[in-house]
Structure formats: C-alpha cells, structure tokens
Amino acid sequence: MSGKAILKEIWEWIVIFGAAFILVALLNTAVFSTTQVRQTSMQDTLMEGQHLLVGKISYVFGEPSRGDIIVFLENRYPENYFDKVRIFITDVGDIFKPAERKTHVRMVKRIVGIPGDEVDIHDGKVFVNGRELEEEYVKGVTFQREQPLPIKLKESEYFVLGDNREVSKDSRTFGTVKRSQIEGKAVFRFWPLSVFGSLK
C-alpha cells in the first residue's frame, strides 16, 4: 500500500471517529442525557449510584407534570438561546469527566406542585390546592423547613421534593425550581442491570 493510500485511510478513520463523537455529543446533550444518582434524597425510588436516562425531548412538546421525576440545573437559569448554547458546549467538553468534576451540578427530584398550584405542608403531609397529595413513593415524614408555606406557584415555577423526605434538600430548603432550569424527565434506569427498566 502506498503512502498516499495509507494517509487516505487514516484520514477516513479520523472523519468516521470525529462524526461519531459529534453524533454522541449531540444526542447526549440535545435529545437525551445520562445522569448518576449521587445522593440518598430519592430513596427508595432511586438509589445512590444508579444511572438514569434523561429524556430532554419530553418537555419540547409538553410541560412538566405533577409526579414527574426531573433533572434540573442547580443555581443556573438559562434564559435564552445563547445561555443554552454555552451550557451545551460545556457539557460536550465534560462528557468524559467523572460526575464530581463536571461543570454543571444537576439535581434529581419529583414535582409535587406545578404553576398555579398552592402547596402546603403540615402534619407530616403535603397538600396541593387544599387536598392531601397521595404519595405511595414517600419514605419518612414530610416536615416543613426554611421556606414559608403555603406557597402559590407562579407561572414557570415548580415545587419539587425528594422521595426520602427526612434527608432531602429540595424546595422546602432552596425554594421553587424555574422552568428554564429543568432539562428533562428521568425516564429509564439502565445501571445496574438488576434495576434495568422504566421509571413511573
């Protein structure tokens, strides 16, 4: 094989690998992403160390619903297209970094209140619009914390809680989550294989 042929073949492999990397990067940040559960705040629904598939397309054609398990940016509020592009570029650069070294911190919680809802907590239970919320997934007792309640959720505001109520840092502590923070819906557990399956 001539030198030119070898160089051509090397170049073709570079192009193939480059295209594959770009495709994976786009899919991993624009259509879906993966995240690892790093706390105990969602037990027993999600356990520390489990890996989740996050559907980002879920909220392109619809809005987050009460009961959804969502992934959102902590302390980041992308307000326009350019903010989202900057986050996208950073995420691409972070693909191969371990979770603890990634630039953007993400949280996993469950939505209990959507825009227009009034949320209150008393007697160890959650009340939405005056009615007790049925929560078969809850672990522990739900105590009120720093945030004053009841709260009437404004447009684009969501009230989120962890399922493991006695240890979870959530809207009782840091307040509501804005729509612009929400990246997607946790739809699937893929690791470890013993818990492989969709989330409800």
Looking at the annotation, which residues are catalytic?
Answer: 41, 109
Gap between the Cα atoms of 183 and 33, Å rounded: 9
DSSP state, residue 77: -
Element (H, E) at 71: strand 69-73
Find the length of the chain.
Answer: 200
Residue 179 CB burial class (10 angstroms; 0-12, 13-18, ≥19): middle
DSSP state, residue 139: B
CB of 113 within 8 A of CB of 133?
no
Gap between the Cα atoms of 192 and 48, Å rounded: 11
